[in-house]
């Protein structure tokens, strides 16, 4: 009787290969890069995109109300983040950043001060314009000096307060003076627009030249007097990430909020023009 032939080596190899392939197809994938059902890789991507850390924002004093609100919205939308706000005159903030102050984002009340940082190579990329603002006159609610126009501010005996020339609101005031031929004789020049407003609300001044947004923020503490000549000096507000920022991803996300739809809504509600 003849015995059956032994399977050849080629046949054995083929059978083994087929068995190994079947096992590999049925076994679940493992390792840090493997997907699990429908959520494995998507979950990892979501975790990688989560923002965290502290963001330091230097912003013009006239942005205090709006940026405080936007910072709160940013923190609520990104648990684990903290926005530290520092407000002052734009020129003072530029000086601080130039001297190494740790800032991630800078928002200026004019393009001139932002350009100083850009020219010094202290920005990450280019700045984005996000709002505009114009001047207005703020007087105490009773308007004791009977101010009705920009020219009234030059009357003898009127205690008027303005921003210093290097501050955006001061430069805008000087531009209006030049355009109208009206020369003011202020009793003081302040380093920020909020300081000017403070002189008016405390009764130390009969009038102050501020922004329309400051008048709105002050509410019943002051009376606002608009004047047509304010259109001669419209300030444009730019925002940018500072080059020395340690958290540029977080900075970019905050800039996106300010320049996006929600930022425009908050700024528009406060009286700013939006880009």
DSSP, residue by residue, the chain = -PPPPPPPHHHHHHHHHHHHHHHHHHSPP-STT---TTTHHHHHHHHHH---EEEEEEEEGGGHHHHHHHHHHHHHHSTTEEEEEEEE-HHHHHHHHHTT---SEEE-SSHHHHHHHHHTT-EEEEEEEEEEE-EEEEE-TT-TT---STGGGGSTT--EEEE-TTSHHHHHHHHHHHHHT-----SEEESSHHHHHHHHHTTS-SEEEEEHHHHHHHGGGSEEE--GGGGGSPEEEEEEEETT-S-HHHHHHHHHHHHSHHHHHHHHHTT-EE-
pLDDT the model gives residue 50: 87
Domain residue extents for the chain: 51-132+236-274, 135-232
**Whole-angstrom Cα distance, residue 12 to residue 45?**
44
Per-residue pLDDT of the chain (275 residues; tens, 9 = 90+): 333 444 444 333 433 344 434 434 444 333 333 333 333 333 334 444 689 999 999 999 999 999 999 999 999 999 999 999 999 999 999 999 999 999 999 999 999 999 999 999 999 999 999 999 999 999 999 999 999 999 999 999 999 999 999 999 999 999 999 999 999 999 999 999 999 999 999 999 999 999 999 999 999 999 999 999 999 999 999 999 999 999 999 999 999 999 999 999 999 999 999 97
Q: Strand pairing partners for 270? A: none
Superfamily for the 51-132+236-274 domain: Periplasmic binding protein-like II (3.40.190.10)
Which residue from 172, 176, 180, 178 is spatially nearest to 235, judged by alpha carbons?
172
Residue 97 contacts residue 242 (beta carbons within 8 Å):
yes
Class of domain 135-232: alpha beta
Do the domains spanning 51-132+236-274 and 135-232 agree at the CATH topology level? Answer: yes
Centre a 10 Å sphere on the Cβ of residue 85 and count the other Cβ atoms it contains. 16
Residue 255 contacts residue 74 (beta carbons within 8 Å):
no
pTM of the model: 0.81
């Amino acid at each position: 009787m003849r015995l059956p032939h032994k399977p050849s080596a080629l046949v054995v190899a083929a059978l083994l290969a087929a068995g190994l392939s079947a096992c590999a197809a049925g076994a679940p994938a493992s390792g840090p890069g493997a997907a699990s059902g429908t959520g494995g890789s998507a979950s990892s991507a979501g975790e990688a995109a989560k923002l965290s850390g502290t963001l330091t924002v230097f912003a013009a004093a006239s942005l205090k109300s709006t940026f405080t609100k936007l910072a709160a919205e940013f923190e609520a939308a990104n648990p684990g983040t903290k926005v530290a706000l520092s407000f002052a005159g734009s020129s003072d903030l530029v000086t601080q950043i130039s001297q190494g102050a740790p800032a991630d984002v800078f928002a200026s009340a004019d393009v001139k001060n932002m350009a100083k940082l850009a020219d010094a190579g202290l920005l990450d990329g280019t700045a984005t314009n996000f709002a505009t603002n114009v001047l207005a006159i703020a007087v105490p609610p009773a308007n004791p000096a009977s101010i009705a126009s920009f020219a009234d501010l030059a009357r003898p005996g009127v205690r008027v307060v303005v921003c210093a020339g290097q501050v955006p609101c001061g430069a805008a005031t000087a531009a209006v003076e030049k355009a109208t031929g009206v020369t003011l004789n202020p009793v003081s020049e302040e380093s920020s627009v909020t300081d000017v407003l403070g002189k008016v609300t405390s009764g130390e001044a009969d009038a102050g030249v501020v922004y329309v947004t400051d008048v709105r923020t002050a509410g019943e503490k002051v009376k606002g007097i608009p004047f047509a000549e304010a259109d001669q000096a419209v300030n444009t507000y730019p925002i940018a990430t500072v080059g020395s920022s340690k958290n540029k991803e977080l900075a970019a996300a905050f800039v996106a909020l300010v320049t996006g739809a929600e930022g425009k809504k908050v700024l528009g509600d406060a009286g700013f023009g939006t880009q």
